[in-house]
Amino acid sequence: MDLVVDANILFAGLIKDNLTAELLFCERLHLYAPEYLFDEFEKYEDLILKKTSRSKDKFHGVISLLRNRMEIYPIEDFKEYLTEGEKISPDINDSQYFALALYLGASLWSNDKALKEQGKIKVISTGELIHLLNIEK
């Protein structure tokens, strides 16, 4: 399954070891992200570290694993979809996720309910993903 990953999913997976963290490494999922996603993590690193039980070294190790696990796209690759992404995204801050999903023909993995308010891109929550993959909690 092809999924563009929203920042809230990575935040959930990084804060503690949980099912979201396991799903991020599930081989049945092909995960994609705009390059700026990892800029967000650098920006909020201190906040994430306060909420997690991980050390700074382990945090950076997980970020490195995720960078290698996901296909990261620079904005130049999908820039022709940015205008449409801005139009359909309920939140301008999420427009790059929508633009990349349009470019790839993929769904968006996010727990942000507001993102489901548009009808162009399928938005799948973690709970829905668990159900689709038939994974026991």
Tell me the per-residue pLDDT of 21-70, one tens digit each, with 9 for 90 and over: 889 999 999 999 999 888 877 787 888 888 877 788 888 888 888 899 99
Region 90-112: mean pLDDT is 96
- Confirm whether 27 is domain-assigned: yes
Region 83-97: mean pLDDT is 94
Q: What is the CATH number of the domain that holds 37?
A: 3.40.50.1010
- CA angle, residues 43, 44, 50, in degrees to nearest 5: 150
Asked if residue 72 has pLDDT above 60, the reply is yes
- pLDDT for the residue 11: 84
Asked if residue 79 has pLDDT above 80, the reply is yes
- Confirm whether 56 is domain-assigned: yes
**Alpha-helix runs per DSSP H in the chain:** 7-15, 19-23, 36-43, 45-51, 56-69, 75-78, 82-88, 95-104, 126-132
Quick one: 32 exposed, middle or buried, by C-beta within 10 A (0-12, 13-18, 19+)? Answer: buried
- Give the residue numbers spanning the domain of 78: 2-132
Into how many domains does the chain fold? 1
Residues with Cβ within 8 Å of 110's Cβ and at least 6 positions away in sequence, in order, are 6, 8, 9, 94, 97, 123, 124, 125
- Confirm whether 137 is domain-assigned: no
- Confirm whether 12 is domain-assigned: yes
- Confirm whether 100 is domain-assigned: yes
Percentage above 70 pLDDT, the chain? 97
Question: How many angstroms separate the CA atoms of 30 and 4, rounded?
Answer: 8
- Angle between helix 56-69 and helix 36-43 axes, rounded to 10 deg: 170
- pLDDT for the residue 17: 61
Q: Which residue has the higher pLDDT, 59 or 5?
A: 5
Do 34 and 95 meet the contact criterion of CB atoms below 8 Å apart? no
- Confirm whether 55 is domain-assigned: yes
- Confirm whether 106 is domain-assigned: yes
- Confirm whether 18 is domain-assigned: yes
Q: With bands split at pLDDT 50, 70 and 90, how would you rate the model's confidence at 116?
A: very high
Least confidently predicted of 56-60, 63-67, 73-77, 93-97: 56-60
Report pTM: 0.90
